[in-house]
Amino acid sequence: MKEKKYSNKKWFNTVRVAWFLAKRQIKGSNKSTTFLIVFIMTLTFLNLVVVSGILVGLIEGGNIANKEQYTGDVIITTVAGEPDISRTHEIESTLSKMQGIENISLRYIENGRVEANYKTRRDFSTLPDVVATQIAGIDTKAEDSLSNLSKYVVEGEYLSPNESGKILIGANLLRRYSAGFGDYFASLEGVYPGEEVKVTIDDRTKTFIVKGIVDTKVGEVSMRAFMTEEDFWRLVDRPGINANEIAVDLKPNSTISADRVKSNLVSVGFVNDGKIQTALEAIPDFLNQIKIAFSLLGNVIGLIGIVVASITIFIVIFINAVTRRKYIGIMKGIGISERAIEISYILQSIFYASAGGILGMIVVYALLVPFFLSHPLDFPFSDGILVAPIGETSFRFALLLLVTLVAGYIPARNIVKKNTLDSILGR
C-alpha cells in the first residue's frame, strides 16, 4: 500500500518535471514553425471529420429531403399486388384521433401517360411526345401542409382546391430539366405553364392545362404529375375510394414517436391493409448501402490523414530530439529521469494535436456545419449537408491525440535511450 502510494507520487513528480520542460520548449520554439505544425494538425482533423461528414451528409441530406418532401414521419403504401390501401378511411380516422399528429395526406395514384405537343405535331411517322408517369390525385391543402409541395413549384403556380382541369408536372418528366438523363428516359419537349397536355389513364383521356412545374431532389415527387383529388376521380374509373399512399406528419415536438404511431396502427389491426413504414424504414436500401460505403471511404481518407499527421509529428519530434540530443544527455547526466524527458516530448505532441483539434472543432461547429446548413451542396439526388455528430467528432479527436502521442513517443524514446555520455559528448 505504502509502496503504491510512493510510486504514484513518483509518477506525479515525473509528469510535473516533464510539463515544466515541455512548456518551456514550446514557448521557446519558433513561432511560425509552431503555427505551421498546428495548422497541419487542424487540416488533418478537418480531413478526418469533414470528408466523411460530407459524404455521409450527401445521403443524409437526401434522407431528410425524402422525409420532409415525400414520406413525412410515417408512410403507408400499397401492399405489393394490391390495388390500394384497404380500409384507407378507417386508418385515416384512427390516425386523426391519435395525439401529436399534425398532418395526414392521402394520395391516389395511377400509372398513366402524359402527351405534349400533339397540336403542333405534323409528321405522324415520328413517335408522339409522350411520357409514362404516375398521376397523383391529392388534397392540395393537406399535401402542401405535409410536404410543402407549393414551395417546389419552380414555374407557374400551385394547384388551387376549387379549380378543375389543371395539372402540375414533375420537372424530371421534362427534357429541359433533365438534360443529362434525356437520352435514357423519354421526356417531354417544352411544356410551359398555360400549355395543354393530354393525360391518359387506362383508356380514358382528358386534356389538362399545365399550372406549374414541380422540381425537387426527391425523385418520387419530381417524376410525378399532380392533380386535385376531384379531377383524379373524374379521370379514373376504379372501384372504391381507397388511397395508395398515406403520409403522416408528427407535430415538431410531439411526445409520440414515428415508431409508436406505426406500432399503434399495427396493434389496431391495420398491418395487412397497407405497408406501414417510418421515414427511416422508407429510406431505400441502396441509399443506406451508399451511406455505409461513403462513410467507409471517408474513414479511409481520414486514415490517410492520420498517417500523414503522425509522420509530421514523428519528424517534428525526431528533429527536435536529435538537435537537442546533447541537452537530453546532460539532463540524463545530472539525474533527470528518462521518463520525464520522454513525457516532455509526448506533452509537446499532445499540445500540437490538441491545438489543431480544438481549432478544427471550432471550424467545424462554428463555421462549416452552419455554412452547409444554409448553403447545402447541390447534388443531383440531395442537398448535401455536413454530418458531424459530437460523439463521433470527439472520438476522432481522441484518436488523433492517441496517434500523435505514439508518433511523438517513438522518436523521443529512440534519442533518450542513447548512451548518456555519448549524447553529452556528441559521439
Q: Is residue 149 a contact point for another protein (CB under 8 A)?
A: no
Nearer to another protein, 106 or 316 (CB): 316
Distances (CA, A) of 390 to 362, 369, 393: 12, 11, 5
Least separation in angstroms between CB 424 and another protein: 7
Q: Is residue 32 a contact point for another protein (CB under 8 A)?
A: no
Contacts (CB under 8 A) with another protein, residues 308-327: 326-327
Q: Is residue 15 a contact point for another protein (CB under 8 A)?
A: no
Q: Which of 15, 25, 257, 308 binds another protein (CB under 8 A)?
A: 25
Q: Which of 333, 370, 380, 389 binds another protein (CB under 8 A)?
A: 333
Question: What is the size of the binding site for another protein (CB under 8 A)?
Answer: 26
Cell of 251: 407535430
Q: Which of 1, 80, 127, 334 binds another protein (CB under 8 A)?
A: 334
Q: Is residue 336 a contact point for another protein (CB under 8 A)?
A: yes
Q: Which of 201, 303, 308, 330 binds another protein (CB under 8 A)?
A: 330
Q: Is residue 150 a contact point for another protein (CB under 8 A)?
A: no
Least separation in angstroms between CB 335 and another protein: 2
Q: Is residue 414 a contact point for another protein (CB under 8 A)?
A: no
Q: Which of 169, 331, 400, 405 binds another protein (CB under 8 A)?
A: 331
Find out whether 207 and 197 touch, Cβ atoms under 8 Å. yes
Instruction: Categorise residue 159: left if φ over 0, alpha if ψ from -120 to 50, beta otherwise.
Output: beta
Nearer to another protein, 260 or 339 (CB): 339
Least separation in angstroms between CB 345 and another protein: 14
Least separation in angstroms between CB 420 and another protein: 6
Q: Is residue 11 a contact point for another protein (CB under 8 A)?
A: no
Nearer to another protein, 251 or 326 (CB): 326
Q: Is residue 287 a contact point for another protein (CB under 8 A)?
A: no
Nearer to another protein, 23 or 234 (CB): 23
SS3 per-residue string spanning the chain: CHHHHHHHHHHHHHHHHHHHHHHHHHHHCCHHHHHHHHHHHHHHHHHHHHHHHHHHHHHHHHHHHHHHHHHECEEEECCCCCCCCCCHHHHHHHHHHCCCEEEEEEEEEEEEEEEECCCCCCCCCCCCEEEEEEEEEECHHHHHHHHCHHHHEEEECCCCCCCCCEEEEEHHHECCCCCCCCCCCCCECCCCCCCEEEEEECCEEEEEEEEEEECCCCHHHHCEEEEEHHHHHHHCCCCCCCCCEEEEEECCCCCCCHHHHHHHHHHHCCCCCCEEEECCCCCCHHHHHHHHHHHHHHHHHHHHHHHHHHHHHHHHHHHHHHHCHHHHHHHHHCCCCHHHHHHHHHHHHHHHHHHHHHHHHHHHHHHHHHHHHHCCEEECCEEECCCCCHHHHHHHHHHHHHHHHHHHHHHHHHHHCCCHHHHHHCC
CA end-to-end distance (rounded Å), the chain? 44
Q: Which of 4, 5, 27, 97 binds another protein (CB under 8 A)?
A: 27
Locate cell 379531377: which residue? 231
Nearer to another protein, 164 or 323 (CB): 323
Q: Is residue 424 a contact point for another protein (CB under 8 A)?
A: yes
Nearer to another protein, 28 or 252 (CB): 28
Q: Which of 86, 150, 200, 337 binds another protein (CB under 8 A)?
A: 337
Nearer to another protein, 239 or 335 (CB): 335
Locate cell 372504391: which residue? 240
Q: Which stretch binds another protein (CB under 8 A): 8-16, 85-93, 192-200, 243-251?
A: 8-16
Closest C-alpha to 349, from 405, 300, 391, 267: 405
Q: Is residue 121 a contact point for another protein (CB under 8 A)?
A: no
Find out whether 116 and 213 touch, Cβ atoms under 8 Å. no
Least separation in angstroms between CB 397 and another protein: 29
Q: Is residue 420 a contact point for another protein (CB under 8 A)?
A: yes
Find out whether 234 and 166 touch, Cβ atoms under 8 Å. no
Q: Which stretch binds another protein (CB under 8 A): 30-38, 292-300, 330-338, 346-354?
A: 330-338
Residues listed for the chain? 427
Q: Is residue 20 a contact point for another protein (CB under 8 A)?
A: yes
Q: Which of 16, 89, 151, 375 binds another protein (CB under 8 A)?
A: 16
Query: Which residues are at the interface with another protein (CB under 8 A)?
Result: 9, 13, 16-17, 20-21, 24-25, 27-29, 326-327, 330-338, 340, 420-421, 424
